[in-house]
Copies of this chain bind each other. A is one copy, B any other.
């Protein structure tokens, strides 16, 4: 008898018909004699409706009260899911985050799980119940309702799998698993059978939106093996786990493209200590997340000067430009060039560590396609380049063909 944690997202429980489908799947697993804990999100659209109501009241509602409000979304789903299991003759009981023993810190709307006391879950499992737990929510030690922020339901599932020492943790979503590339852009993309936490993290942070980084990080930290799979069919999904030796046989696991970046270049920045710190400290103070930073070597005959480029999210571009303009008097750089017509193309794979020449092969492929590389950044298992947005999808297909075709 195995203990399985299954998580179903908002689309999978988007209406009562889909909730019945979820129940049918859970019942099928249950009929094999396994114990099942189901984590569900709010029905798709419900959270947005609640946010709209709150905004009708005031533009920036209290975060404590937002949590009280939003927590009703998952509470609705757990009750309906339990009922749908009853309708199939399966014993089931619902638990809110608080009832499930999910304790968090007090940072409302983005609380961190501190501890899980799964006493109630075990009690109901032992009574022969499927236990339905509200994702995305918990409570503080003094009984305040909290929510976990973006990707919170995935986090609930993985944290529960860890606390319950589950044999299996399945994250059901509307895609079949993790792909070598976005199939909407790369027709030849293939579903991966397995991927390491680190590769998944690089892909998550690169905008392959299967899961939020924090859930993967949590899984990595506590060694929770999980499977990303579709709630629409019975295809096996992608197993996410610690890297194994044979994973390194594959040089590149996947290719991703982030079109949500913008680039700012400061021309002729005085090349002296403290200047870069001044620039990026100021951006950080303005809560602007800087992703890639590239600084060229000094040039020119007079006072040493350098060009500094960095990328930010598109939504932050105007704000970043304003912050930079404010520094102009003090730092005394030249022109500021900004563009959001860029794409960040990345290849990811733990195999890179043991295979040389990967970067060269990637750059060669881009050159053949006539694609100019504007910025480069690398990590141990990732190479990213910033290129012209107009050629980004063509470049992505070419790179995918080179490494994964």
C-alpha spacing A389/B20, complex, angstroms:
48
Q: Which of A190-210 contact B (CB under 8 A)?
A: none
Q: Does A58 touch B at the CB level, under 8 Å?
A: yes
CB of A68 closer than 8 Å to a CB of B: yes
Residues from chain B with Cβ under 8 Å of A84 in the complex = 57-58
Interface set, chain A 29-75, CB cutoff 8 A to B: 50, 53-54, 56-58, 61-62, 64-66, 68-69, 71-72, 75
Question: Cβ of A306 < 8 Å from any Cβ of B?
Answer: no
Distance in angstroms between the alpha carbons of A143 and B95 in the assembled complex: 10
User: How distant is A1 from chain B, measured CB to nearest CB, in Å?
Assistant: 25
Bound: A82/B93 CA distance, A: 31
Would you call A224 an interface residue if the criterion is a C-beta within 8 Å of the partner chain's C-beta atoms? Answer: no
**A53 and B16 contact, Cβ closer than 8 Å, known pairs A65-B94, A79-B65:** yes
Residues in B whose Cβ lies below 8 Å from that of A369: none
Indicate the member of A75, A80, A87 with the most B CB atoms within 10 Å: A80
Give this chain's copy count. Answer: 2
Residues on the B chain within 8 Å of A61, using CB: 83, 86
B58 touches A68 (CB 8 A): no
Known: A56-B16, A84-B57. A68 touches B75 (CB 8 A): yes
- Min CB–CB distance A366 → chain B (angstroms): 52
Q: Is the CB of A83 within 8 A of B71?
A: no
Are B79 and A68 in contact (CB-based, < 8 A)? yes
Nearest Cβ on chain B to A247's Cβ, whole angstroms: 43
Evaluate contact between A86 and B58: CB separation under 8 angstroms: yes
Q: Are A68 and B57 neighbours in the complex by a CB distance under 8 Å?
A: no
Q: Which of A53, A58, A78, A79 has the most CB of B within 10 A?
A: A79
Q: How far is the CA of A54 from the CA of B54 in the complex (A)?
A: 25
Q: A120 CA to B140 CA in the complex, in Å?
A: 14
Q: How far is the CA of A80 from the CA of B94 in the complex (A)?
A: 25
Q: Shortest beta-carbon distance, A394 to chain B, in Å?
A: 47
Residue in B19, B57, B82 whose beta carbon sits within 8 Å of that of A62 in the complex: B82
User: Chain A interface residue count: which class?
Assistant: 35 or more
> Which B residues lie within 8 Å of A65 (CB)?
79-80, 82-83, 86, 94
Q: Which of B57, B72, B93 contacts A83 (CB 8 A)?
A: B57
B94 touches A120 (CB 8 A): no
Interface flag for A76 (CB, 8 Å): yes
Q: Give the docked Cα–Cα distance between A84 and B86 (Å).
A: 39
Q: Smallest CB-CB separation from A86: which chain B residue? A: B62
Query: Is the pair A69, B58 in contact by a Cβ cutoff of 8 Å?
Result: no
- Distance in Å from the Cβ of A97 to the closest Cβ of chain B? 12
Whether A99 sits at the interface, judged by CB under 8 Å, is yes
Q: Which residues of chain B come closer than 8 Å to A68, judged between CB atoms? A: 75, 78-79, 82, 94, 96
A50 with B64: in contact, given A16-B57, A57-B16, A58-B86 (CB under 8 Å)?
A: no
Bound form: Cα–Cα A145–B99 in Å:
10
Min C-beta distance of A42 to chain B, whole Å: 10
Beta-carbon contact of B72 and A76 below 8 Å:
yes
The smallest C-beta distance from A400 to any residue of chain B, in angstroms, reads 44
Extra contacts besides A61-B83, A96-B145 (19): CB < 8 Å: A16-B53, A16-B57, A20-B57, A50-B76, A54-B79, A57-B83, A57-B84, A61-B86, A62-B83, A64-B93, A65-B79, A65-B80, A65-B82, A65-B83, A65-B94, A68-B79, A69-B76, A99-B143, A120-B143
27 residue pairs from A and B, CB less than 8 Å apart: A16-B56, A16-B57, A50-B76, A54-B79, A54-B80, A57-B80, A57-B83, A57-B84, A57-B87, A58-B84, A58-B86, A58-B87, A61-B86, A62-B82, A62-B83, A65-B80, A65-B83, A65-B86, A66-B79, A68-B75, A68-B79, A68-B96, A71-B75, A72-B72, A72-B75, A72-B76, A96-B145
